[in-house]
C-alpha cells in the first residue's frame, strides 16, 4: 500500500482511537486495529523516503519498559524521534514504584504532564468567544498546536466574523452543542448559562484525566448559570464541586501585585466570621506553595488586617488580635516568611512597591479593589489548591459590547501566559 492509499483508507475510517489505551488490543475492533496498522504503514513510508513526520515541536515520550530489551528500547526511541519527541526513561528504583506505587498509578501521574491548554469559551452571549479567537490568532503555530477551546464551533465562527479574524479553528475546538447557536449577543440566557457550565465540565474531565495541563476560563454570567440550574457562586466554587476538592483559594496575580483571598463571594459579615485562625493559616500556606511553584524560592507574604488599623489594640474590633495574629505566628513557626496583620490601607502599597510578593486579603473587595486599580487589563485569576490548574481572565461577560468586535483580549493573553508558566513549573 502506497502513502496515498493509506491516506484514503484513513479518511474512510468511522471509528476513533483518540484517548483510548493503545496497548489494550483485545478491546479494539477490527477496524481500529486496521487503522493502527495503516498509520504505521504511512509512517514507515515517510521514514523510508526521508520525509519528515514530526507531529510535535517539543514534548517527552516516557519509556516505562520494565525489562532491558535493547531492541524494544531502541525501537521506542526511534519512533519518538520520528515524531519529534525526546525520550525519558523511567527509573523504577528512583520512582514511587519502589515505594509501592503501581506502574498504572505512576502512568496516571505522568499523564498530568500534558502541556496542552484548554480554554473554556465562557458564556456564548458574552465576549468570551471573541477574546478566545483573538487570543488563538495571536499565538505562534507551536503554541496554537498546544491549545484547545472547549466551546461551540458555530458561536466561535460567529465571533470570528464579528472581530474580522480568519484564524483556522480546525483541530483547536472541542465542539459542544448549544441549542439555537449562535445565540444573540449580549442577552442573558439560561441556555447560554447551561452551555458555559458544560464547557467547563468537559474541560475539567479532561484535566483530571491528564489530557490537558491547565484550564483557562473565559467569563461566565452567574445569573445565567443559576437560571440554568447550576447553583454556584462562580468558577471557583464550581471547580471545587466538579473536582471534589475540599478547598480552593482565589489568587489574583499581576506583575507587581499578587493577592490571595481568605474568603470571596460571601457577605462582609460572613467574611469576617470566616477569617478564623485555621482558615487564615491555610490561605498563607496555599499562597506560599503557589509562589514557590512559579519560581519564587523564598516568598515574602503579608497578611492584611480585617479591621481599620488592625483594630488599634481592640478599639475597632478584636478579630485581628484574636484570629489573624495567631495564624501568622503559626505560619512563621513553619518557616514561612510572613508578616502581619498589617493595616489594609498601607499593605497593598508596600507590596506594589516590592516589599512583599503576596498579600493575604481577608475578603473579596479588600483584595480585588487594589489589584484592579493598578492592573485592570492584565491581572489574572488563579484557583489555588485544586487538583487541577486553572487560570481565568479577571473580567466579566461584558454583554454591552458583545458581538461588536471591540473586546480587549489582553487579559486572556495574560491568563494564557500564566497558564503556560504553571505547566512549566509542574505539580508537586
Domain range 249-385, its CATH number among 2.170.120.40, 2.120.10.30, 3.40.50.800, 3.40.718.10: 3.40.718.10
- 130-139, 362-371, 386-395: the lowest-pLDDT one: 386-395
Q: Kindly state the average pLDDT of the residues 217-234.
A: 90
According to the model, what pLDDT value does residue 244 have? 87
pLDDT at 282 over 50: yes
Q: Is the pLDDT of residue 17 over 60?
A: yes
Q: pLDDT tens-digit profile of 176-204?
A: 999 999 999 999 999 999 999 999 999 99
The three-class DSSP label of residue 51 is: coil
Contact 340, 395 (CB under 8 A): no
Give CATH superfamily name and number for 115-248+397-428.
Answer: Isopropylmalate Dehydrogenase (3.40.718.10)
Average pLDDT of the residues of the chain: 86
pTM for this model (two decimals): 0.69
**What is d(CA 34, CA 30) in angstroms, rounded to the nearest whole number?**
6
Count CB atoms within 10 A of the CB of residue 178.
23
pLDDT grade, residue 92 (50/70/90)? low
Share of the chain above pLDDT 70, in %: 88
Q: What average pLDDT does range 4-21 have in this prediction?
A: 74
More confident residue, 108 or 156: 156
Count CB neighbours of 102 within 10 A.
Answer: 10
Q: Is it true that 115-248+397-428 and 249-385 share their CATH fold?
A: yes
CA 314 to mean position of chain CA atoms: 42
Q: How confident is the model at residue 328 (pLDDT cuts 50, 70, 90)?
A: very high
Give per-residue burial for 251-277: e unless 16+ CB within 10 Å, then b.
bbbbeebbbbbbbbbeeeeebbebbbb
Question: Which of these, 342, 383, 47, 407, lies nearest to 238 by C-alpha position?
Answer: 383
Please tell me the distance from the alpha carbon of residue 146 to that of residue 139, in angstroms, as a whole number: 10
What average pLDDT score do residues 109-117 get? 66
258-261 and 249-253 as β-strands: parallel, antiparallel, unpaired? antiparallel
Average pLDDT estimate for 413-422: 91
Of residues 52 and 219, more confidence is placed in: 219
Query: What average pLDDT does this structure show over 116-145?
Result: 94
pLDDT band with cut points at 50, 70 and 90 for residue 82: confident
Mean pLDDT of 87-107: 61
- pLDDT confidence bin for 22, thresholds 50/70/90: low
Q: Enumerate the domain spans of the chain.
A: 1-53, 60-113, 115-248+397-428, 249-385
Query: Can you give the pLDDT at residue 21?
Result: 65
- What mean pLDDT comes out for the span 147-168? 95
Please tell me whether residue 308 adopts helix, strand or coil conformation: helix
Count of CB atoms within 10 A of residue 391's CB?
27
pLDDT band at 303 (very low <50, low <70, confident <90, very high): very high
Full strand arrangement of the beta sheet holding 337-342:
173-175, 147-151, 117-120, 214-217, 390-393, 380-384, 249-253, 258-261, 358-361, 300-304, 337-342
pLDDT at 155: 97
Q: Average pLDDT in the 391-397 region? A: 89
Q: Are 219 and 126 in contact (CB under 8 A)?
A: yes
Burial of 64-89, coded b for 16+ CB within 10 Å and e otherwise, reads beeeeeeeeeeebbebbebeebeeee
- Confidence band (pLDDT; 50, 70, 90) for 68? low
- pLDDT given for residue 135 in this prediction: 96
Per-residue pLDDT tens digits for 240-275: 889 888 888 899 999 899 999 999 888 889 998 989
Predicted confidence at residue 428, as pLDDT, reads 45
Amino acid at each position: 500500500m502506497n502513502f496515498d492509499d493509506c491516506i484514503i483508507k484513513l479518511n474512510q475510517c468511522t471509528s476513533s482511537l483518540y484517548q483510548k489505551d493503545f496497548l489494550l488490543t483485545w478491546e479494539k475492533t477490527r477496524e481500529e486495529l486496521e487503522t493502527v496498522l495503516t498509520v504505521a504503514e504511512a509512517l514507515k513510508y515517510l521514514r523510508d523516503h526521508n520525509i519528515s513526520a514530526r507531529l510535535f515541536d517539543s514534548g517527552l515520550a516516557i519509556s516505562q519498559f520494565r525489562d532491558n530489551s535493547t531492541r524494544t528500547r531502541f525501537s521506542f526511541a526511534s519512533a519518538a524521534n520520528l515524531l519529534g519527541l525526546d525520550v525519558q526513561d523511567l527509573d523504577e528504583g528512583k520512582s514511587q514504584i519502589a515505594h509501592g506505587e503501581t506502574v498504572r498509578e505512576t502512568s496516571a501521574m505522568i499523564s498530568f504532564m500534558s502541556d496542552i491548554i484548554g480554554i473554556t469559551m465562557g458564556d456564548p452571549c458574552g465576549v468570551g468567544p471573541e477574546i478566545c479567537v483573538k487570543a488563538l490568532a495571536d499565538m505562534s503555530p507551536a503554541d496554537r498546536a498546544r491549545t484547545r477551546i472547549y466551546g461551540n464551533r458555530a458561536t466561535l465562527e460567529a465571533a470570528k466574523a464579528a472581530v474580522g479574524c480568519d484564524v483556522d479553528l480546525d483541530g483547536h475546538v472541542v465542539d459542544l452543542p448549544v441549542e439555537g447557536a449562535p445565540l444573540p449577543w449580549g442577552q442573558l440566557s439560561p441556555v447560554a448559562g447551561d452551555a458555559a457550565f458544560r464547557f467547563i465540565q468537559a474541560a475539567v474531565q479532561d484535566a483530571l484525566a491528564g489530557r490537558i495541563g491547565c484550564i483557562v476560563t473565559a467569563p461566565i454570567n452567574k445569573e445565567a448559570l443559576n437560571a440554568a440550574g447550576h447553583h454556584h457562586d462562580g468558577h471557583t466554587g464550581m471547580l471545587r464541586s466538579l473536582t471534589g476538592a475540599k478547598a480552593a483559594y482565589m489568587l489574583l496575580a499581576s506583575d507587581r501585585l499578587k493577592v490571595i483571598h481568605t474568603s470571596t463571594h460571601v457577605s462582609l459579615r460572613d467574611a469576617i466570621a470566616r477569617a478564623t485562625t485555621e482558615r487564615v493559616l491555610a490561605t498563607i500556606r496555599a499562597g506560599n506553595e503557589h509562589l514557590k511553584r512559579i519560581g519564587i524560592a523564598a516568598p515574602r507574604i503579608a497578611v492584611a488586617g480585617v479591621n481599620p488599623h488592625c483594630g488599634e489594640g481592640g478599639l475597632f474590633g478584636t478579630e485581628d488580635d484574636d484570629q489573624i495574629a495567631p495564624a501568622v505566628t503559626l505560619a512563621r513557626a513553619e518557616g514561612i516568611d510572613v508578616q502581619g496583620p498589617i493595616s489594609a490601607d498601607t499593605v497593598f502599597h508596600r507590596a506594589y512597591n516590592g516589599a512583599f510578593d503576596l498579600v493575604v486579603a481577608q475578603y473579596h473587595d479588600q483584595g480585588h479593589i487594589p489589584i484592579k486599580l493598578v492592573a485592570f487589563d492584565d491581572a489574572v485569576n488563579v484557583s489555588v489548591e485544586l487538583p487541577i490548574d486553572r487560570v481565568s481572565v479577571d473580567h466579566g461577560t461584558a454583554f454591552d459590547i458583545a458581538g461588536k468586535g471591540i473586546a480587549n483580549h489582553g487579559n486572556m493573553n495574560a491568563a494564557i501566559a500564566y497558564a503556560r508558566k504553571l505547566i512549566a513549573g509542574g505539580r508537586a
